[in-house]
Every structure is written in C-alpha cells, then in structure tokens.
Amino acid sequence: MKSKLATAVSAALLMAPAWANVSDNQPDIPFFDHTLPIEERLDDITARLTNEEKGHMLTLWNEGVPRMGMLAFEPGEALHGLASPRHNVATVFPQSTMLASMWDPALMKRIGDIVSDEARAQHHHGPVMPRGRKGPLMFWSPVINIARDPRWGRTQEAYGEDPLLNGIKATAYVQGLQGDHPKYLKTAAGAKHFVANNEEHNRFNGNADISEKQLREYYFPAYKQVVQEGDAKIIMTAYNALNGEPAVTNTWLVKDVLRGEWGFDGFVLGDYGSVMMTRKGWGERGYIGHEIYDTYKDAAAAVMNAETLDFDNTSLFRTDLVQAIEEGMVPQEKFDRAFKNTMRVSLQLGMWDPEELSPWKDLAFDIMASDAHKAVALEAAEKGMVLLQNEPVAEQPLLPLDKSAIKTVAVIGPNADMVNFGTYSGNPRDPISPLQGIRDYLGDDVEVLYVPWAENEDELQTVPMDNIVLLDNQGLGIWRAEYYNNGQAAGKPIASDNVADVNFDWLDTYPHESQNGRHYSARYTTQIVPSVGGDYTFGVEYHGTEAKVSVNGVSVIDAHHRKGQDHREIRPVRLEANQTYEIEVVSMRSTNEGKHQVRFGWQLPKQDDTFEGGELEVAKQADAVIAVMGISVKYEREAYDRTVEGLPPGQEEMLASVLKANPNTVVVLQSGSSIESPWLKDNVPAILQSWYPGEQGGRAIANTLFGDNNPGGKLPLTWVRSWGDLPPFNDYDITNGRTYMHFDKEPLWAFGHGLSYTDFKMDKLKLKSNKVKQDGTIDLSVRVKNTGKVDGDEVVQVYVVDKFDRSDKPKQRLKAFERVSVKAGKSETVKLSIDVADLAYWDEKTKDWALGDRYEIRVGNASDNTTLSDTVRLK
C-alpha cells in the first residue's frame, strides 16, 4: 500500500497539465520576442508576474498565467523510451540495466535521439489534449543513482555499479535527448535522484551516511559528468537525507557542489512531495517523513532560503511559499532566482517562441514507434544480451541452438509469454514476447510446445502493473481510491488518493484518515489492457464488509457480508486482448466487527494446450528446452525493494526435473538486477541474461539463442552468490565489500563478465609512454583477435590499480572501455586514452583531489579476467 503522501501527490499529478505553447491572447511584450537575449526576456516576465503567478509556473497542477497567454506545463518520463502520455504509441527500448550491458555509448546516444524525435513529433503533431495541452518536452530521466546493492527495487532503472560506466551511459543518453542545436534544446533531460537514493522501503525518511571522500569518488562522478559533459538542464533531488540533512534543503549538496563547483545552470526540483515530507506530523497519519518543520510554510521557506529547489511538485510554491515571502520569511530575490532558473530552460526549449521556429516542427507524428525505431530497439536488445554460461552438452556448447537439427522445441517458464518492459515504460506497438519471438523465428519448420506457467493456480493474483494503463506521473500503474462516510459509496467522496492494488486488511482503523463512524466505504477504480484474451476469473476476498466488482459498469460480483467469516467470491469474465476495461471494486462497511478486509485479484485464462502444467512431459518430447525464468516488476520496482533472493519459489524445483528429463535445456533469465542462484550456475549448461529487453526483446532472444546474434553484452553489476555476502542494506560505505572495487568474496559472475559464441585473444598491449605528466593522458593500444569461426563483439576493459598507499583504496577501478566488432579470424587494434586527472583520489586532509606516483594498467574483458598489464609513473 502506498503511503498517504505518495498517493496524495500522485493524485495531484494525474490532473496536472502538460507543456503547451502560448494561447491566443499572448501580449506584445519583450518576453515573447525571440530575437531578444534570454536574460532580457526573463527580466521582463519576472517584473510583470505576481508572486502567485510565479508560484503557479513553478509547480505542477496549475493553470499557468492566462492573462499573459502562458499555459501550464508538466514534464514527462523517458527512462527507456517516451513514456508519456501513455495513450500515444512510442518505441520501448530495453530497460536501463540492459542499456548499460551494451557498453556502447554511441548506440545510447542514438536511442536518446530517437526518444527526443518522438517527443518532438508528439509535441508538434500529436493529439491535443484537454485545455490545449500538448506532449511534454521536459523529462525526469535518466536515473543515475548508482546500483550499489541488488536488493534495491529500482536497480533496473540504473546503469550499474560503476561510476565511469554510469556517467558515460547517462551522458550519452542526455546528449541524445537534448540535441546539438546551437539555439534550442530538443528536449530537457533531468537526472535523478541527487543523491544516494538507494532504498525503497524507507526512501521517504531514510538517511544515507556517506563520507565526503566516498561521495566525491563514488556517488558524485556520474552526476558531475552529466552536468559538465552532458549539460543536463534538470536535476531532481532525492527523498532521503544525506548525512542528516534532507536533500531538498541540503545547501552544501545543491548550492555549493552542484551549482557552485560543477557550474550547473539549469533548474532543480525535489522528488514528488519531498518538500512536504519535511514537515512534522506525518507520523500521526501513518507516514514517516523527516519531521523537521512545524508548517508547510516553514518547509517551503527553508527550501527557498537554502537556495536548493527551483521547482516543486505540489502546491507549496504557489501557496505557502508566497505567504512566507509576504511575511518576510524569504527575500524576494531568492524567489525570483528560482523562477528565472526554471523559465530559462523553458525559453531554451523554445516553448514561448512561434512554433515555426522549431528545428523539429516537421517531424511527422507517424515516426512514433516506426519500423526504423523498432530496428534500433532490436539492435539494443541484441547488444545487451549477456551470455552468462555456455557449457558443453554432448561435447559441444549448447548454444547456439542448431535450427536445422531440431524438430521440436519446448518453451516453458513464467516469463515465456510475458513482455517484461520494466518500470516507466511507454506504450509500444506490437511488442514481442519470448514465446512469440521463438515461434516467429522457427516458423513452420520446428514444432513449438508451450506450457503456461501454473504457479499457485488456485490463488488470486494481483493484476500485474504491465496490464494497468491508469498511471500516475511516475509511470506506475495505480487504482484510483475514493472514500465515503456512508456504507454505500454514495454521493461525493470525502477524500481520494491512489493505491498500488486492492489488498487491504484493517483492524480497528479506517481506509482513510478522514473517515469516522460505523458506516463507511471505499471505491477503487482502474483501467487495464489484457495482453492475452480469454476467460479470466475475477475474485474478491473480504471480511466484515460487502464487496462489489464491476467491469465497464456491468456488475460481475455482488458479495454480501457474512459475519465472522473470511469469504471469497469468484466469477468468470471474458476479456479480449488489447482492449481497455474499467474495473471497479467497492468495499462497503456496515458492521461492528473490528476486522475489515478486502482483496481483489484474478486468475489468468487457461490455454488450450495439451501440455498445460506439464513441463516435464514436453521436456521429454523436445529436442531442446527453452526455459524463460527470472523475476518481474512484481518483485522489484519503485516503492518495492526485492525480498526474494535468487529465483522465486518453485522455479529451481521445476528446472531440476526438466534438466533430468532433457539436459539440452537453456535458461533465459529476465530481471532488472542480479539473480543470486549458485544452483543455476552449477546445474544449467547454458544461461542467457536478457534483462527487461523492451518491445523487441522476444525477437532478440530468439536471434541470440539460434545464433543470428552473437551475444557481446557484459554485466554492469557484480552478481553475488548470496545477499549474505553483502553488508547491511543501509550501509553506504562501499569499502565494506560492495561492488567489484571492494567485494572480497567469490562472485557468482563478475562485473564486466559476458561470453560469446566465438573466442577472443587480447595481446600487444602498448603504452605510448610509461612516464606521463600529471596534466597529460595515458595513451594505450591493444590488439583484439577473433580466434573463432564466428564474427563477434568484444569489450576491451581497462582497469587501474593504485600502486601507492591511500585510504579507502579500491582493488581496481574501470577507467576506459570500448566495444569492438571483429570478423572471424581477423584482428582489430583498439586505442584508448585516460586523462591522468581521472585517476585522482579525494584527500581527506587537504579536502582536495590528489594523485599518486605509480599506477598499474590492467586490460581484459572482465574485472576478473585482466590478462595484460603495464605500469605508469607520473612525473
């Protein structure tokens, strides 16, 4: 269940308008004169607007400034494709961990360019929404919180555990999103969440204790690179506190470091509702915030006086902050500074200029989810495939499978017929599941035996987020909740918010704090689009209440109260694939029983398949078995940290039986983080990590399994054998055994690991010089030879070891990499450079960067496989 703060804020965001051009009553003032310098235009509009009007322009859920012809604006999400508004189709690329596993910055930039193309096409030519709204051009993406712990529910949104890889990938994406036009931004990219937002279970009130040294060396670098090299125009701060001070009021973090040291010139906002959560009293409402300020006015004033945030997601900047200014709590110039910072980015986007001046005005709406864009989504999915293991079966590696030698393939597993996009996903056209991809690839030449996953067949399952199309502005599937002080859910609700699903169990409490008395009720509504058509089973479990369920206004369940009993009602419901349905669940309380429970769920339609539930039977019949296993957003997502280590219950047991029946079994894993299963490594001959591979994932999986795509992806994370090998979740000191830099146990698979269908040899490492100036570069070359029979890609990885004493010294640090394609039997020479300044460490005594005198250069294709080395001295 979401916190009251999160649901209240999400409810507000659902009603917020989007960026739009000016309305017809635009006055003839300097602000709208595109020929004037931006600062002159900012001065003009700042002097003309009232504080209330400025406050509206600095918050969501506003009406803009009608008297000036300024319509409201709102950002969107574009984590791995354009994700808002969801009613328009858009290309869905692989989730971020897979994009990181490509180790290909150039492709990352191309993806950013496609996403911003679709954003501009939607903005200029997409359907105009109510109140003149058009598609957004500001995006709260990418996420560059470093993935220090696999238990973090949002690991899937990050680019891995290494600062360099994280920074390079994020910077390339930002450059693609923002474009390279000399005057206008194509879109405005917003990096989040600054900083150390790495726990979901306590993200609203957590505190990250991190030394300045580790901040500088590990947690900051990607943000610094995105700001200084990517020129990102938006930064979102985190919910959590850093060393006891909430990020939203942390002057050192935002004003001193971000703006002062790094020269950030965009605008800063807090995560949704993060200013509100600094106020006291949330604990009394079942929510725990930072509990600092007595009123919202005090909180808003503190943020503005700290010179941290310029923009807020709630109403505080247009109400409480304005009052604080009127009472002299905040100087006017600080408010105007924030207003100009935000509006400057809007001018750089050309939002207030004539649309005909836009360099992207002619991008047609039909490029959305075009075949050309789908081809890039496929390329990304193929490049991000990581071959974890490929052991011999009958003296030959199991992969790639030989289509010509196979007559029957069994496809099994919980993710076989699912399209796992991950969170913050857009709306693709014709996505391809692994099962569909395999069927399409094999055609009529090979029989495909599919067995649907039958986990807890009789249990009601929560409606998966991927099926819910009623979303909040974080891209998460929601139910809209309305609360009543009567037992019939009648009349006007007294309160409303959003919830993640309908699964509540109250004891002597109310569904909402505003409710009281003996009679009360709640109405929960959402919209779904089933990916599979058929006869579903809808069910409601309840106690101490009556419950009703309807679909598109038609009642399907009308369950009456039964005193003292837990009860369950189920009904079959026919749903068609890809059709939109509105589901309504009403819980009506009219008894004195202390317990009050309601839970809604469904059972998936049964397939007409002889082998349903019979994985063992089809494994015996098939020439090869493809088991698509792993996890999904059910196990990891925003607001939910992982609680299941390794594979979910039942998966290993099923695989053990299948492997005995057919050793020609390939496991295709899907996840946004690592799967901690030594059993898999010890028992399964071939394992392909396919992450959450986007809309073309099924095709990419098939192409890889059957050899049309030679996998070349590398892990951006250390896969540990067990969470027991890690320090406590809330320990942010990475020297205590986190990441390849400090992990002191045997990993399941190492950072940078990834196999191929061919063999590579690296040799002839040459340094231009073994003595380099402190302001110089380390230039090196290495030969990569493909000694196998198949063309393939290899990733040259360069690690540096500090050969001198210093505190918190890592085992090694990634400092350069390049993905290279090499033809079978051929060689390629790769040249790389490392700025000596990038080898510096933070000296805690001098509070400045320092260099050592000697460094070892290691080169290989994984952090645990560096076969070449040399030494450099600084002079």
- Domain boundary pick from 578, 603, 628: 603
Mean pLDDT of 715-735: 97
The confidence score (pLDDT) of residue 130 equals 61
Question: Which of these ranges, 69-78, 417-426, 511-520, 852-861, has the smallest mean pLDDT?
Answer: 511-520
The confidence score (pLDDT) of residue 485 equals 87
The confidence score (pLDDT) of residue 456 equals 52
The confidence score (pLDDT) of residue 460 equals 80
- What SS3 state is found at 147? coil
Residue 391, CA distances (Å) to 309, 592, 668, 863 in order: 54, 63, 14, 21
Contacts of 505 (CB under 8 A, 6+ apart): 595, 596, 597, 599
Res. 613 pLDDT band, cuts 50 70 90: low
371 belongs to a structural domain: no
Higher pLDDT, 598 or 101: 101
pLDDT over 90, % of the chain: 72
793 belongs to a structural domain: yes
209 belongs to a structural domain: no
Residue 142 phi/psi, 5-degree rounding, is -95, 170
pLDDT at 611 over 90: no
And the tokens for 818?
């390049």
501 belongs to a structural domain: yes
- Domain boundary pick from 603, 630, 659: 603
**Do 797 and 859 meet the contact criterion of CB atoms below 8 Å apart?**
yes
**Do 133 and 180 meet the contact criterion of CB atoms below 8 Å apart?**
no
The CATH number of the domain where 527 resides is what?
A: 2.60.120.260
pLDDT at 82 over 80: yes
Secondary-structure breakdown of the chain: helix, strand, coil percentages, each rounded to the nearest 5: 25, 25, 45
The confidence score (pLDDT) of residue 1 equals 33
Q: Tokens 């300024």 map to which residue?
A: 70
568 belongs to a structural domain: yes
45 belongs to a structural domain: no
Q: How many domains does the chain have?
A: 2
pLDDT at 262 over 50: yes
Side chain identity at residue 221, one-letter code = P
**Do 279 and 296 meet the contact criterion of CB atoms below 8 Å apart?**
yes
pLDDT at 19 over 50: no
pLDDT over 70, % of the chain: 93
- Domain boundary pick from 575, 603, 631: 603
490 belongs to a structural domain: yes
Report the alpha-carbon distance of residue 207 to residue 219 in Å, rounded.
15
The confidence score (pLDDT) of residue 17 equals 31
pTM for this model (two decimals)? 0.86
Q: Is 271 considered catalytic here?
A: yes
Res. 562 pLDDT band, cuts 50 70 90: low
pLDDT digit string, tens, across residues 584-595? 999 887 666 667
Residue 323 phi/psi, 5-degree rounding, is -65, -40
Side chain identity at residue 523, one-letter code = R
Q: Tokens 């369940």 map to which residue?
A: 557
434-442 and 697-705 helices, crossing angle to 10°: 50
Please give the residue range of the domain that contains residue 765.
Answer: 760-874
The CATH number of the domain where 774 resides is what?
A: 2.60.40.10
Mean pLDDT of 409-437: 95
Residues facing 268 on adjacent strands: 235
Residues 117, 271, 472, 802: which is the catalytic one?
Answer: 271
How many CB atoms are closer than 10 A to CB 284? 8
Nearest to 67 by CA among 17, 29, 118, 94: 29
Question: Which of these ranges, 177-186, 202-211, 544-553, has the smallest mean pLDDT?
Answer: 544-553
pLDDT digit string, tens, across residues 761-818? 999 999 999 999 999 999 999 999 999 999 999 999 999 999 999 999 999 999 999 9
212 belongs to a structural domain: no
Question: Which of these ranges, 74-78, 238-242, 458-462, has the smallest mean pLDDT?
Answer: 458-462
Report the alpha-carbon distance of residue 312 to residue 304 in Å, rounded.
11
Report the alpha-carbon distance of residue 458 to residue 824 in Å, rounded.
52
